[in-house]
Structure 1
């Protein structure tokens, strides 16, 4: 009886560990995606500022 309950708790622990791993992976993936988008937007606006500095007459377009 004791061995059976020990086995059941081990299985439950593995399920909790798997769930925790999935949650961490989801958070890291979402954070990486947000960081990539932020870097892309920063590069885009940096190039816009650079082009307006070179040709100020294009500012209104």
Structure 2
């Protein structure tokens, strides 16, 4: 997230929701949590969740 432009809190929430939906769909499709695509989306989602929590802690 460091190389990306700063997004608003609302945009951040939308990104998180979109990634959560994509992650659920991928798990259903792949059938395992260890599939490379599942892990990749999960890690990306983690970064955004951490950023969201950081922002909430600061406010």
Does TM, normalized by the shorter one, top 0.5? no
More helix, by proportion: 1
Return the structure number with greater relative CO, CA threshold 8 A, min gap 6.
Answer: 2
TM-score (norm 2): 0.42
